[in-house]
Structure 1
Amino acid sequence: MSKARAGSKPKPTKKAAAKATKVGRKTTSKAAAKRPGDEPALAPNAPEMPEVRSARTEPPPAADASLVKKWAERGAALLRELAAHGAEDHEYRVDLKDGRFVWLDPRGRVSAEARARALCSYAPTTSSLTMAWADPLLRAASVRPVERLPTERDDVDEEEAWGVAIAAAEASGAEWLYRVAAPHSWYFLALSDLSFQPISASFTPGSPAGLVLLELEASRRAIRSGAEPAVVVRERLARVGSALLHEAEYAYRSTDWVSRLARTGKRLEKLAGKVPVPSFESVAKGASSSEWLSPDLAGSLDEALGLLVDEWRLFA
C-alpha cells in the first residue's frame, strides 16, 4: 500500500549471498596473512564455529546460494529492462484482483505492465509468514500451492522470508520476484509477461478493501496478543493511518474510495494518539508509566478496530 520506487533491488538476496560466502573468504584471508617473523602457514586456519540456533521442527526451505544468485541476477535484469524503456524510476501499482502490476509515468499513464500473482506475505514486527494460498484475502490471487512449503511460520527473519519467497517463485515458474512493502507487511509477488506495450494506457486501482483489512486485522491481533509494547502499537496504528491517508491523496485520488480511506486513516491516527507515551520530562521526574497497554485501553482499541473491520468487510 505504501508508495515505493519500482527500481528497488531485493537487498536481502545480496545479504543472503554474502552470508553464504563469508566463511570461505575469512578462512582464505587468514591463511594468506602472517605477521613478520612467522613461519609460513602449512594449512589454513579452521573456520569459526557457525552460530548455534534453536532447532525447528519444520524449518522453512531456504534458497541455497546459487538460487539466491540466480534471482538476484533476474532482479538486476528487470531493472535493466525498465531502464532501457525509461521506467526505472516510475511508481508501481498492483491490482491483484485482475492480476495486473503496472508502472506509471509522472503523468499517471502506464509505461509497463506485467501479470502478478501472490506468493506470500510477511510481517516483520511479528516474524510471521503466510503463503498466499493459505491466506483468505490473497488466495484468489495466489500461485498454485507448493506442497513442500509450510503454509504458515511465526519465527522467520527477513532473510529467511526472502528465501521462502525465492523458493516459491522458483517452484511456481515466475519470471520475476517483486516485494511490495505495506506499513507493517511485505507482499512477495510472482511477475511474468512483462510488456512495454500495455493493453490499456490508463490504470484504475481496484478495491483497497483487501489490503486495508489485512492491516486492520494484523493490528488487532497484535493488540490482542499483548506481545507488543505500547510504543510499538502506537507506531503501528499511526503508520497504517498515515499510509491510508497517502493512498487517498495519491493512488485513489480520483476514485470513490477517497473519503472512506481518509476517514479510516484519520480514525487510526486518533487511536494512536490514545496510547500514552512517557515524555523525557516525566521519566526524569520518576512518573510511573507502563510499557504495555492496560487491559482497558487494549479492549477499547480492539473494539474500535473491530468496527472498522466490519465496515471494510462489506467491500471485500
Structure 2
Amino acid sequence: MTATPLPYDQLKGPTTVRRLLTTPTTGPLVALLLACVFFSLTTEQFLSGGNFSLIVQQVMVVGTLAIGQTLIILTAGIDLSCGAVMAFGSIVIAKTAAEGGLPPLVAIVLGLVVSAGFGLVNGLLVQLIPLPPFIVTLGMLNVAFALTHVYSAEQTITDLPAPLTALGETFPLGNTDITYGSLVTIALFLLFAYALSGTSWGRHVYALGNSPEAARLNGIRTSRLTIGLYTLAGVVYGIAALLLISRTGVGDPQAGQTDNLDSITAVVLGGTSLFGGRGSVLGTFIGVLIVGVFRNGLQLMGVASIYQTLITGVLVILAVTVDQISRRKSR
C-alpha cells in the first residue's frame, strides 16, 4: 500500500519565521528599528551613545510606571491613578526626609508603603465589590492628586538629602554617562520579564487575563492574585517616585499629571492587549523606547512638541487597531 502524503501545511509544520511573525513584540520591535534608522538618517546627533543614554533617562520614570501598568492590563484592567500615586509617593518621600527629619531610607520605605496602600485599595475595590477598574482608578487618581497638593501645601520640596537623589548620579561607560536610575529601570524590566515568563505566578497572571472563571476553576485564587497584582503595581509606582526624585532633584506636587496616559501608551505600543491575557514586559520596554525615540528624534528635527503628541496618538490608535485585527483572525 502506498502511504497517503501529508498536506503541505502539515508537512512543513510551525517554523521559526512564522513564530516570530505571530509574536506580539515583533511589530513594535520592527517599528523601533525603523524609527532609529529614520532618525539616524535625518539627524546628526541621534546616533550617539550620549543621545541613547539621554533617551533612557527621559523614559525611565514612565517606563517604571509602565511595568506596573502592564501587570494590570494583562488582567484586562487599567490603572489611571499610577501617575498621581507616584506623585504622592514622591512628596511623602521628599517631605518626610527633608522636613520631617526621617532617615532617607525610612522615608523611601514609607513612600513605597503608601504607594502600595493605594494599589491595595484599588485591588480590593476592583475584586471584592466589584467595581470596574476604570472607575476605581479614575476615582483614586483624584484622591491621590488632591492628597498630593494638600500634603505638600502646593510647595515644591527642595534641599533633599543626597541618598534621595543618588540614583540620578552618573558613571562613565566608555564615552557615555549612564545614570544609576536607568540601570534600576532595566533591572526591573528583566526581573518582571522573568517572573511573568518563567514562573507559575506568571502563568497564573496570563490565565487570569484570558478567563478569570476558567482560572478559578483550575484552582487559581483569582481574588488574591488580583489584589496582589494591584498592590505590587503600587510598589512599582513607589519605585518610580524615587526615580522621579532622583531625576528632578526635588519633590514636585505638579509631577506625573500625564504619566498615566504615557504609561498606557507604552504598554499598548509594546503589543500588550487591552483585553488581557496577551503581552509582555519586554514588549512594554520596546513600547517605552518607541515613545522615547520618537520624541527625542522629532525634537532633534525641530518638530514642535504638539506634533510629537499628535504622532504618539496616531501610533496608539494604530497599535490598538492591529491588536483588534489580530484578535479577530485568531478566533
TM-score class normalised by the smaller sequence: under 0.3
Answer 1 or 2: which has greater strand percent.
Answer: 1
Higher Rg of the two aligned structures: 1
When normalised by structure 1's length, the TM-score is 0.24
Using the size of structure 2 for normalisation, the TM-score is 0.23
Compare the two structures and name the one with the higher helix fraction: 2
